[in-house]
Amino acid sequence: MALLLKNARVIDPQVELDTVCDVLVRDGRIVEVGQDLAMEKGETVDLTGKVLVPGLVDMHVHLREPGYEQKEDIASGTRAAAHGGFTAVCAMPNTAPVIDNAVGVEYVKARAAQVGKCRVIVSGACTKGLEGEILAEMGDMHAHGVKAFTDDGHGVQDAGMMRRVMEYASQFDCVVMPHCQDDSLVGEGQVNEGTCSTRLGMFGWPAEGEELEIMRDIALCRLTGCPLHIQHITTARGLQLVRDAKAEGLPVTCEVTPHHLFLTEDDIDDTYPTALKVNPPLRTAADARALIEGVADGTVDAIVTDHAPHTDWEKDREFELAPFGMIGLETALSLVLTNLVKPGVIDYGRMVDLMAVRPRAILREEPVRLEAGSIADLTVIDPDAAWTVARADFLSKAGNSGFIGAELVGRATEVYVGGYATLKDGVIVE
Ligand code: DOR
Ligand code: ZN
């Protein structure tokens, strides 16, 4: 099958490309990138006015299957991903049962192959049941294709256990991705500790509850040599720890979410909006500014959604009773385009770096480059499409977005996975 994508602005910093040209795809791979390409038989798509980039990867997504299909499943979650412009997601293991052995890994892979609308990269738990007590079957999971380990949703409380996890992972050159949370400091914390927790009269989730584990895990990275990727970093000091670790030459990377970049604790008003209850919590405006600086200066490696779907009945409760998390797959790209690319905080090349290049590198996935020979995982963006975020447009089962009503500019219109269209004109290809 051949596919000729014509007249897009083709951008890929990996091959120093930013020019209007054509991309020819055959049998799932790019065969040529250049001017005035022609083809004998196949489909031609005119992409005049659009931007074509390497397929986007969201390396932090909760697909909820198996076990919590009332919130999301692999079919709905991967449709939401394609709708948001993603060609691949990395699924978190905090399902029921937890993905802590090879059977669970094979289940997610098989369901993704049957019903997925994007590639699903499976991450495995560090400890059995995410309980922090017994090592998960890391070697077996690795033999079944897992290259990243995380107890996301929980911090590994015991430093000795975390050391063992990292020693195991480093044998396979796999990355360990901690959700940094010291339970003895966080306890029942609901929102950022300080002005916000005082104003709302709720237990605080202090910045130090995150920063101490970042500090510890960087020390364990130094001790074990294991690649370390800090999940959803939220504070200025936490980011500085990562900046210093990188300067020291340690294999440390980190990610941020759009909600920690573009929302703050000040947005949690006396309507107690449970969509804004996330873990780690929304922090101060100064923290958000520091994260944006980190995105611009290269300290932040990846923008991820932490797409965390929940049902309405779970979220329509008192703030303390509602679960943590917000969805993000269908708004992330547009938020980044609107708030970072349009105002010139970053350029398209850096966006590609954050949302496609570095996530693949961290997860040890084959790179996708806009040059002959590469896998044809591609995202096409209409940079001028203006739209308002509305729940009715989501393909996710869930509606717990903190951005409903936001007016955004730019969105994915076409997505190709291995040369096959999963999204055309903004509509899922079934
Ligand atoms: O807000 C969050 N929700 N943070 C996490 O770490 C876990 C996630 C979930 O699974 O709902
Ligand atoms: Zn997490």
Q: What is the pLDDT of residues 101-125, one digit of tens each?
A: 999 999 999 999 999 999 999 999 9
Does residue 180 contact residue 155 with C-beta atoms inside 8 Å?
Answer: yes
Closest CA to 5 of 15, 17, 20, 27: 20
The confidence score (pLDDT) of residue 203 equals: 98
Mean pLDDT of the chain: 98
Confidence of residue 1 (pLDDT cuts 50, 70, 90): confident
- Amino acid at position 415, single letter: V
* Residue 16 to residue 11: CA distance in whole angstroms: 8
CA-closest residue to ligand 1 atom 1: 325
Residues with CB under 5 A from ligand 2 (ion): 152, 179
Q: Give residue-wise pLDDT tens across range 230-275.
A: 999 999 999 999 999 999 999 999 999 999 999 999 999 999 999 9
Q: Kindly give the distance from the C-alpha atom of residue 190 to the centroid of ligand 2, in angstroms, as a whole number.
A: 14
The confidence score (pLDDT) of residue 259 equals: 99
- Which ligand is nearest the CA of 326, by number? 1
Tokens 């996975």 sit on residue: 417
- pLDDT of 81 > 80? The answer is yes
Average pLDDT over residues 386-405: 98
Encoding tokens for residue 410?
């730019």
Q: Is residue 8 within a helix (H) or strand (E), and if so which, with residue range?
A: strand 2-12
First to last CA, the chain: 18
Q: Give residue-wise pLDDT tens across range 355-373.
A: 999 999 999 999 999 999 9
Encoding tokens for residue 30?
């790019």
The confidence score (pLDDT) of residue 246 equals: 98
Tokens 């051949």 sit on residue: 2
- pLDDT of 210 > 80? The answer is yes
Q: Kindly give the distance from the C-alpha atom of residue 139 to the centroid of ligand 1, in angstroms, as a whole number.
A: 26
SS3 content of the chain, % helix, strand, coil (to 5): 35, 25, 40
- pLDDT of 58 > 80? The answer is yes
Q: Is the dihedral of CA 345, 347, 351, 354 positive or negative?
A: negative
Q: Give residue-wise pLDDT tens across range 306-357.
A: 999 999 999 999 999 999 999 999 999 999 999 999 999 999 999 999 999 9
Which regions of 266-333 does DSSP assign to beta strands (E)?
A: 302-303
Q: Is residue 29 within a helix (H) or strand (E), and if so which, with residue range?
A: strand 29-34
Global pTM value: 0.98
Q: Is residue 293 within a helix (H) or strand (E), and if so which, with residue range?
A: helix 285-297
420: β partners: 417
User: Which atom number of ligand 1 is nearest to the Cα of residue 324?
Assistant: 1
The confidence score (pLDDT) of residue 300 equals: 99
* Residue 247 to residue 238: CA distance in whole angstroms: 15
98: β partners: none
Does residue 292 contact residue 201 with C-beta atoms inside 8 Å?
Answer: no
Q: For residue 175, what is the DSSP state? A: E
Q: Kindly give the distance from the C-alpha atom of residue 179 to the centroid of ligand 2, in angstroms, as a whole number.
A: 5
Does residue 253 contact residue 230 with C-beta atoms inside 8 Å?
Answer: yes
- Which ligand is nearest the CA of 324, by number? 1
- pLDDT of 160 > 90? The answer is yes
Residue 389: CB atoms within 10 Å:
18
> Is the CB of 72 within 6 Å of ligand 1?
no
User: Which atom number of ligand 1 is nearest to the Cα of residue 277?
Assistant: 1
CA dihedral 351, 282, 229, 207 (to 10 degrees): 140
Please provide the DSSP assignment of 119-148 as one string: EEEEPB-SBGGG-SSSB--HHHHHHTT--E
In degrees and rounded to multiples of 5, residue 196 shows phi and psi of -65, -50
CA-closest residue to ligand 1 atom 2: 325
Closest CA to 62 of 297, 241, 264, 328: 328
Closest CA to 106 of 54, 60, 52, 146: 146
- pLDDT of 40 > 90? The answer is no
Does residue 288 contact residue 259 with C-beta atoms inside 8 Å?
Answer: no
Percent of the chain predicted with pLDDT > 90:
100
Q: Kindly give the distance from the C-alpha atom of residue 61 to the centroid of ligand 1, in angstroms, as a whole number.
A: 9
